[in-house]
C-alpha cells in the first residue's frame, strides 16, 4: 500500500526463467495495442519513393532507336540538354565526327557532370576530345543513349547540374 511520500511497490520478474508458467501477465491493453498495430500495418499503402520533377525541368519521357523524347517532344537528331533552358541541337552526326569543338556548347552550359550518350552502343571518345571538360573538373560519364537518358533523369531529380550530350545517329549518317 502506498501512502503519502511512499513509492508504490514494483513487481519483479525473473527474466532468466523462460518457462511459460513463470511469465508475467501481459500489461493491460497490450493485446489490444498489438492487434491495432497489426491492423494498421496491413492498411498502410505502398509508397514509391521517386523525386518529383517539376514540369519546367527538361526530362526524358521516352526514347527509341533513332530518337529521344524530352517533355513529350520528339527529337530525331543529336541534342544537348540541361535541366533548365532550351533543348539545343548538337551538331554531331556520327561518333567518328566527334571533336573537341563539339564540347564548347557543353562548356557554355556550366555543368558539373556531363552524361555523354554515344549512340546505341557504348563507345569511349579519345581523351583529347574531352580534355577541356576534365581540365575544368567536369565529370564525364560515357554510356549508350538509353542509359544516358535514365542517368540524366536521376541526376537531374537529385538537383545536380547535369548536361546530357546525346548522339542520335540516323541510318543515313552511318556508323
pLDDT per residue as tens digits for the range 94-148? 999 999 999 998 999 899 999 999 999 999 999 999 999 999 999 999 999 999 9
What is the predicted pLDDT for the residue at 48?
45
Give the mean model confidence (pLDDT) for residues 63-84: 95
Q: What percent of the chain has pLDDT over 70?
A: 66
Nearest CA-CA partner of 111 in 53, 152, 78: 152
Cell representation of residue 129: 576530345
Going by pLDDT thresholds of 50, 70 and 90, the confidence category of residue 31 is low
Q: Taking a C-beta distance cutoff of 8 angstroms, is the pair 118, 95 a contact?
A: yes
Report pTM: 0.66
Task: For strands 139-143 and 113-117, give the pairing.
Answer: parallel
Lowest mean pLDDT among 44-53, 70-79, 140-149: 44-53
Report which secondary-structure segment, H or E, holds 63: strand 60-64
Name residue, grid cell 520478474.
Answer: 13
What is the predicted pLDDT for the residue at 172?
55
What is the predicted pLDDT for the residue at 56?
77
Residue 152 has pLDDT above 90, yes or no: yes
- Our CA angle for 127, 92, 88, nearest 5°, is 110
Amino acid at each position: 500500500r502506498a501512502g503519502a511520500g511512499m513509492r508504490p511497490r514494483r513487481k519483479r520478474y525473473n527474466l532468466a526463467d523462460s518457462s511459460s508458467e513463470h511469465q508475467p501477465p501481459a500489461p493491460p491493453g497490450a493485446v489490444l495495442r498489438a492487434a491495432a498495430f497489426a491492423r494498421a500495418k496491413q492498411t498502410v499503402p505502398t509508397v514509391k519513393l521517386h523525386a518529383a520533377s517539376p514540369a519546367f525541368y527538361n526530362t526524358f519521357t521516352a526514347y527509341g532507336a533513332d530518337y529521344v523524347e524530352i517533355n513529350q517532344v520528339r527529337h530525331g537528331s543529336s541534342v544537348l540538354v540541361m535541366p533548365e533552358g532550351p533543348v539545343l541541337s548538337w551538331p554531331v552526326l556520327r561518333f567518328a565526327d566527334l571533336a573537341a569543338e563539339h564540347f564548347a556548347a557543353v562548356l557554355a552550359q556550366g555543368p558539373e557532370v556531363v552524361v555523354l550518350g554515344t549512340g546505341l552502343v557504348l563507345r569511349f571518345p579519345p581523351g583529347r576530345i574531352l580534355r577541356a571538360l576534365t581540365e575544368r573538373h567536369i565529370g564525364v560519364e560515357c554510356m549508350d543513349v538509353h542509359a544516358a537518358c535514365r542517368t540524366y533523369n536521376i541526376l537531374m531529380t537529385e538537383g545536380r547540374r547535369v548536361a546530357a550530350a546525346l548522339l542520335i545517329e540516323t541510318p543515313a549518317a552511318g556508323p
